[in-house]
Every structure is written in structure tokens, then in C-alpha cells.
Amino acid sequence: MARVLVVEDDPPTAAEITAALRDHGFETECVATGGEAVTRASAAHFSAIVLDRMLPGDLDGLEVLAALRGRGIDCPVLILSALSAVDERVRGLRAGGDDYLTKPFESLELTARIQVLLRRGATEERATRLKVGDLEVDLITRRVRRGADTIDLLPREYLLLEYLMRHAGQVITRTMLFEHVWQYRYEPRTNVIDVHMGKLRRKLDEGGRPPMIRTVRGSGYVLRAAD
């Protein structure tokens, strides 16, 4: 069971985060100050830390992060912040954060990102091919095959598929797809991502093959081996 340390000083937000994580099967522990965060993280092992950027008292989020990394604690850290400026994000990631989420956020966005962070260490980064069910992607030649058939994908479609394959079985939100595949950061309100995903799906499921990409209620997708 994965344990997540939530560092958040605002009780309602902390309760919201805790509830969302519990619903997705995480164990949680909640602290309200930077000092406590460092103490707890040093004392026990956590699978991931959700860290508020703005904390009251002597240590703010980035300082907590620096202290943790300084003590050799390298569990994934997701920074939460009300500051959306690009350089804030860059600063957060440079200080050792693994992901950055701007408040207000939807709970699915948070849990999906935590899942991805947890699994990141698990997927073999050096793999040259990914295989989910009968779908196979060659990371070097960028060739995609389903069963015996080769599937022609546009470059962007390939990137979408590769990202989903790397996180097969996990919920990936539209925002995550957009950030990873297009490398820009904002929340596109349009359903453009859905259209891209629709095209990818049609290509993957061509010829009446059972669908592999499922839409998750809210704003996400999961790729799984077809039953």
C-alpha cells in the first residue's frame, strides 16, 4: 500500500486532497508545517509527497524540498501552488520537484499525476519496445503494430500512444497529455485532445478490434489490454 505525505496548511484543502487519495487507494498522512514535513519524511518512508508551495512559518515549500533532497530523501514530490507563472513552475521543478500542479485542481488530476509519479521508477526507462496486450510499439523505429498489422500513425499520434503505453493501466488526464505531447502548459477548454484521441482510437481499433483506450469519466483516458 502506497503511503503519501500531504503537506498542506489549509485544512479544507488538506481534507479534500486526503479524501481524493484515499478514494484511489492511498494511505495518507497530513502535516501542516514545513518543519513537521521534514521531520516526518525523515522518520518514515513515503511513496510520494504532495507539497504545498506556500507554507506558513519558517520553511516554505521550496525550502522543505531542498531540505528533503539534502537528506537524501528522493521520493517523488508533487508541488501544489496557487502561482501559475511559468518561472514558478520552473523554479519548483529545478528545486527537485517532480511535478507541479496549479490550484485549483480537480482531484482526478492530482491522483492521476501521483499514480504516474509512483510508477515512474517501475517502468524500465531503457526499454526499446513497449507491449500492452496485442499492441506493440518499437521505441526506436517508432513502428506500431497491433497483432500482425502495422498501424500508421502521425508523429503526434505516436507520441500520444507512447505516453499512454508507458503508463498503461493508469488514468492519464487531458492536461497531462497536452503537457507531455505538445509541451505547452495550460488547460485547453476545447475538446481538441478528444478529437486527437478519437483519431488515434479509430486507427488502433480498425477492423473491429476490441477497443483499448477507455475514456475515464471526468477528463482522462486509460489504455489497457483489450479483454
Partner 1 sequence: MLFLALFGCASLALFGFIYWQTSRYLTSSVDERLQRDAQGYLANPDETAARLRKHVELDPQNIHPFGLFTRDGRYIAGNLTILPRFSPPLGRPFEYRQRTGGSLRPYRAFALRMAPNELLVLSESIYETDELRELLRNAMAWGGVFLLVVGLAGAVITGLGAVRRINAVTGAIERIVTGDLSGRLPMNRRAGDLDRLSLLVNRMLDDIERLMGEVKGVTDDIAHDLRTPLTRLLASLERARRRSEATPAPAAAEYERAVEEAIRETRDVLGTFNALLRIAEVEASARRAGFARVDLGTIAADVAEFQAPVAEEKGVALEFERPRPALQAPLALFGDPSLLFEAIGNLVDNAIKFTPAGGRIVVRAFAAKGRSGVSVSDTGPGIPEPEREAVLRRFHRLEKSRHTPGSGLGLSLVAAVARLHGLDLSMESANPGCRVTLSGRTSSP
- The answer to the question of residue 19 lying near partner 1 (CB under 8 A) is no
Q: Which is nearer to partner 1, 24 or 199 (CB)?
A: 199
- CB of residue 72 vs partner 1: minimum separation in angstroms? 31
- Contact mark string toward partner 1, 139..168, x via CB under 8 A: -----------------x------------
- CB of residue 99 vs partner 1: minimum separation in angstroms? 16
Helix (H) or strand (E) holding 7: strand 3-7
- Quick one: DSSP state of residue 222? E
Distance from CA of residue 148 to its chain's centroid?
Answer: 32
Q: How many residues does the chain have?
A: 227
- CB of residue 177 vs partner 1: minimum separation in angstroms? 12
Q: Which of 122, 141, 189, 208 binds partner 1 (CB under 8 A)?
A: 189
- The answer to the question of residue 217 lying near partner 1 (CB under 8 A) is yes
Sheet strands side by side (includes 172-173): 172-173, 220-223, 213-216
Burial 34-56 (b: 16+ CB within 10 A, else e): bebbbebbeeeebbbbbbbbebe
Residue 52: phi, psi to the nearest 5?
-75, 135
Asked whether the beta carbons of 164 and 221 are under 8 A apart, the reply is yes
Asked whether the beta carbons of 76 and 118 are under 8 A apart, the reply is yes
Q: Which of 148, 184, 208, 227 binds partner 1 (CB under 8 A)?
A: 184
Q: Which of 15, 19, 44, 90 binds partner 1 (CB under 8 A)?
A: 90
- CB of residue 200 vs partner 1: minimum separation in angstroms? 10
- The answer to the question of residue 82 lying near partner 1 (CB under 8 A) is no
Asked whether the beta carbons of 47 and 4 are under 8 A apart, the reply is yes
- The answer to the question of residue 69 lying near partner 1 (CB under 8 A) is no
Residues that bind partner 1 (CB under 8 A): 84-90, 104, 106, 156, 182, 184-192, 195-196, 198-199, 217-218
